[in-house]
Structure formats: C-alpha cells, structure tokens
C-alpha cells in the first residue's frame, strides 16, 4: 500500500472475519438467521466473505441491481418505497430476484397493489413498524397497521422494525432494553396482523447494537445488521465493540504543520473521512476520528480535530505537543461512522495488498 496515493480506504480482513464470526456465532445461539445489510460495505467481495450467498438488505435500488448482477436473489429494499421506483422493482422481479419492498402507509400499499395488478406481478411488501420514534414506521396501536395489511392482500409478506435509538444507548442495560423492545414491538405487530386474519410470514428486526445485545428473539424470523462488519467509533463509544475491532480506516499523509497552533496537516479532509461527528454526543468526543500509525497502532491522544475538503487537522486531546510526524509520514484515521466514511471511496485497499471494488450511487 506504500505506492498508492493517499487518501484511500484500508480494510483489515482479519478484523472483518473476526467481526463476522462474532455475530454469526451469537445469532446461531439465538436460533435466528442473519440478513446482511450491505449498505455499509456496498461490496460484493465483503458480502461473499462474511455471508456468502445469503439473503441481503439494501438501502438503494442501485445496490439491489448491483448485487443481483453478482447472483444474489433474496433482497430486501429497506427504505420506504417511492411509487416512481416500482418499474425498477418489476425489472428485478422479472430477473428472478425475490425483491421485497418496505412501506408504512395505505398510499404506498395502494400504489404497490395497483402497479402489481397492472404488471401481473406479486411484489412482496413488509410493513415498517415504529419501535422507538426514530424515523419511519407505523405504531403497533395505529389502526392503519391492519388497514395497510388489508390493502396489500396477497402482497403482504410481514413486518420490519429498526431500533434506531439504540445508537444512543450508552450502557449494557440500555442496549438490552432497546433490543428487547425491538423484538417485542415486531412480534406484537405480527400478532395484530394475524388477529385480523392477515398473513405475517416475516418478522424482521435489526441494527448492529441490538443484534449484539439481544438475548431473546422468540417470534423473530430474521435479524438485519451491516455496520458490524467494519464497526466504528460510534459503536465503540456505546460499548458494542472496541477500537481494536475497527476493520475500516483511511490512509492519509502528513503534508504540513502549523506549529504555533500545535497542528499536523494531512491530505485527508472530509472528502476522505466524511463530515460525520457521531461521537460528539457521546462521553468521549473523537473529533473526526482517531489517528493510528501506518500499521494501525493508535497514537495516544492524537485526534483528527478539523477537516476541510481535502485537508485534515490533527492535534492532541490534552493540548500536549503533537508527536514528531515529518512531512511524508503515512497515518490511518479511524472513522466515526463506517457507512459514511466508506461512502467517500470507490474501492477498498486490503492490508494484504488486494483491491476490492465498492458500489456507489442510487
């Protein structure tokens, strides 16, 4: 990697494998299969390495198309369906992909059923359930839940929930509570549909924090998680992993110094690491990322504290003099949010020397 121009994304496959095995073993103990969320890596090579050929979750239809090209046939598009995108859904279904869509309103359900009738297709759909007020979804107690199910009819495949607030759970007890609530809410929603005489084959839950905190998944048919393959400083900050588990870093080079400000300047700004400041609300603010040497060993108290488009600013957390890092020194930045940082790059440079492409776009 010493001949590759910085900045670039570095992937440690030993850590990747360890992270994958950890969740795989946990879910095996709980008796629930994984549906890998590929939105973090957006890489067929990563998916094959950690979950070869298994069912996947995507965040864009471009991901669905890209993974379909690679032979994946069981795909969940876990973002509320826009009716204008249904022709792309139909094209995937006609290619033999079992593409399941997500929705949380009668309007979307009507659009799906109308389009499916016109195209003579069955479009499997999950109803998104709100378990913690994080984003989208219908409440279990909302009369719209069975109404949406009735509108979908034969297209109804089940329910899905995502414990988004688990990213702000800072103790093991809080993480376990979030995981239990996620499970309980999803199962309760399935019970509502079944009580109304409607089918509910799939009960889908998941986030990286709750997948690692759950102890009871009775009634759940699948768990979705994606960030866990790389982990990041946000996950380390809530105790789901440690910094030694982070598989993704960004290689940068020292290009200057502002000695009167106690700064080291690198060629890796927010275009390389992202603007994500996800640790800002945590007990320890990690700036734009922690700093390691070229081999991946953390440099104590050195933090990426500033970022412009193509410049990174490194300084010490306690104001002590920055270490001697001459111009040309290569470093690695540990990211706050692996999904956002990976999104800045179109390939991963493996520590072994291989290069894996990464998909981008919508």
pLDDT means per 10 residues, the chain with 362 residues, are 91 98 97 98 98 95 98 98 98 98 98 98 98 90 98 98 93 96 98 98 97 98 98 98 98 97 98 96 96 97 97 96 97 98 98 96 94
218: left (phi over 0), alpha (psi -120 to 50) or beta: beta
Contact status, residue 55 vs residue 77, Cβ threshold 8 Å: no
Q: CATH number for the domain including 170?
A: 3.20.20.10
pLDDT at position 307 is: 97
pLDDT at position 52 is: 87
- Does pTM surpass 0.85? yes
The verdict on 328 and 210 lying in the same domain is no
**Considering the domain boundaries, does residue 17 fall inside one?**
no
Contact status, residue 333 vs residue 264, Cβ threshold 8 Å: no
The verdict on 219 and 315 lying in the same domain is no
**Considering the domain boundaries, does residue 1 fall inside one?**
no
Distance CA 161, CA 126 (A): 10
Pick from 184, 203, 228: which residue ends a domain?
Answer: 228
H-state helical runs in 196-328:
208-213, 233-237, 270-273
Which residue is it, tokens 């690491």? 273
* Domain interval for residue 334: 243-357
Beta strands in 212-297 (DSSP E): 222-225, 248-258, 263-266, 290-293
Q: Give me the sign of the Cα torsion angle 298, 299, 301, 303.
A: negative
The verdict on 87 and 162 lying in the same domain is yes
Pair type for strands 248-258 and 263-266:
antiparallel
The verdict on 150 and 257 lying in the same domain is no
Pick from 177, 195, 228: which residue ends a domain?
Answer: 228
Q: CATH number for the domain including 280?
A: 2.40.37.20
Other C-beta atoms closer than 10 Å to the C-beta of 311 total: 18
Tally of domains within the chain: 2
Distance CA 16, CA 14 (A): 5
């Amino acid at each position: 990697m010493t001949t590759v121009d910085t900045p670039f994304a570095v992937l440690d496959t030993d850590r990747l494998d360890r992270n994958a095995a950890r969740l795989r073993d946990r879910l095996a103990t709980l008796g629930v299969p994984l549906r890998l969320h590929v939105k973090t890596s957006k890489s067929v090579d990563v998916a094959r390495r950690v979950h070869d050929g298994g069912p996947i979750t995507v965040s864009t239809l471009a991901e669905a198309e890209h993974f379909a090209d690679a032979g994946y046939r069981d795909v969940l598009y876990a973002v509320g369906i826009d009716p204008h995108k249904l022709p792309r859904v139909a094209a995937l279904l006609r290619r033999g992909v079992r593409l399941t869509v997500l929705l949380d309103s009668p309007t979307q359900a009507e659009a799906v059923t109308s389009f499916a009738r016109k195209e003579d297709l069955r479009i499997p759909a999950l109803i998104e359930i709100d378990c913690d007020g994080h984003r989208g979804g219908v409440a279990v107690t909302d009369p719209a839940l069975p109404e949406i199910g009735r509108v979908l009819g034969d297209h109804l495949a089940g329910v899905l929930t995502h414990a988004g607030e688990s990213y702000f759970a800072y103790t093991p007890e809080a993480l376990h509570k979030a995981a239990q609530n996620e499970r309980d809410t999803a199962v309760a929603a399935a019970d509502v549909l079944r009580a109304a005489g409607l089918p509910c084959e799939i009960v889908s839950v998941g986030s990286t924090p709750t997948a690692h905190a759950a102890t009871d998944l009775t009634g759940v048919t699948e768990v979705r998680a994606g960030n866990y393959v790389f982990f990041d400083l946000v996950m380390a900050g809530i105790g789901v992993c440690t910094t030694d588990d982070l598989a993704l870093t960004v290689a940068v080079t020292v290009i200057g110094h502002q000695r009167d400000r106690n700064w080291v300047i690198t060629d890796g700004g927010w275009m390389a690491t992202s603007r994500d400041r996800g640790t800002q609300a945590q007990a320890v603010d990690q700036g734009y990322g922690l700093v390691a040497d070229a081999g991946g060993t953390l440099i104590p108290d050195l933090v990426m504290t500033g970022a412009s488009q193509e410049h990174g600013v490194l300084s010490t957390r306690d104001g002590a003099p920055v270490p001697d890092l001459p111009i040309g020194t290569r470093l690695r930045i540990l990211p706050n949010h692996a999904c956002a940082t990976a999104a800045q790059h179109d390939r991963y440079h493996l520590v072994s020397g291989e290069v894996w492409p990464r998909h981008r776009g919508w």
